[in-house]
């Protein structure tokens, strides 16, 4: 190739990288798009001022518990916890990877527990107590993808662990 051919290729390359300025200006004046809607939703999702520390964040606003333990649910919860939870959590107050579970049902409302185990990410981002715990444990709780029934079973197992009869 001669110098003129190389020069022409370089000019064509740079010309093709540029965009039509009038199109760019037009795109900037477009109404809100799905991308900007998603960004606004993400910003609201991480806004700690909208967070309820008693309930947490998620779909559970009330969780009805029986006065006594539902042994069948607790047994199912122990099975689920054995697969999804006990590699990081002990049943005592001792930290493993995550905090121990002893006393959790006395410190937290059932709605908070259900919301946290089914929807941990926004709660980790907003809850000051969870953030303080994260500084101790250094590992974010992953979303285990628990079903509503699995979460309820685990809650009942936690109640059993805390001495509810």
To the nearest 10 degrees (0 to 180), the angle between helices 148-161 and 71-84 is 100
Please count the structural domains in the chain: 1
Residue-level pLDDT, tens digit, the chain, 165 residues: 565 555 545 555 444 444 444 444 444 444 444 443 444 444 445 566 778 888 888 999 999 999 999 999 999 999 999 999 999 999 999 999 999 999 999 999 999 999 999 999 999 999 999 999 999 999 999 999 999 999 999 999 999 999 999
| 108 part of a folded domain | yes
In a domain, 32, yes or no: no
User: Considering the domain boundaries, does residue 103 fall inside one?
Assistant: yes
Q: Which residues have CB under 8 Å from 3's CB, separation 6+? A: none
For 81-109, letters b (16+ CB in 10 Å) and e give: beebbeeebbbeeeeeebbebbebbeebb
Q: Is residue 107 part of a domain?
A: yes
pLDDT of residue 83: 97
Tokens coding 56 = 């947490």
Residue 50: per-residue pLDDT: 73
| Domain with 99 in it | 51-161
Residue 33 lies in a domain: no
Q: What are phi and psi of 157, to 5 degrees?
A: -65, -40
Residue 12 within a domain: no
| CATH label of the domain that carries residue 122 | 1.10.760.10
């Amino acid at each position: 190739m001669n110098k003129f051919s190389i020069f022409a290729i370089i000019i064509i390359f740079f010309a093709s990288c540029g965009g039509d300025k009038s199109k760019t200006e037009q795109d900037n004046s477009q109404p809100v798009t799905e991308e900007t809607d998603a960004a606004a939703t993400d910003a609201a999702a991480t806004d700690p001022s909208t967070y309820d520390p008693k309930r947490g964040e998620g779909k559970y606003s009330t969780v009805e518990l029986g006065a006594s333990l539902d042994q069948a649910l607790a047994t199912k919860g122990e099975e689920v916890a054995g697969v999804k939870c006990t590699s990081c959590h002990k049943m005592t107050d001792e930290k493993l990877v995550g905090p121990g579970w002893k006393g959790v049902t006395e410190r937290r409302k059932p709605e908070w527990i259900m919301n946290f185990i089914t929807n941990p990410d926004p709660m980790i981002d907003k809850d000051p107590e969870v953030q303080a715990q994260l500084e101790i444990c250094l590992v974010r709780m992953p979303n285990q993808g628990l079903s509503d029934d699995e979460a309820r079973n685990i809650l009942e197992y936690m109640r059993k662990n805390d001495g509810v009869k």
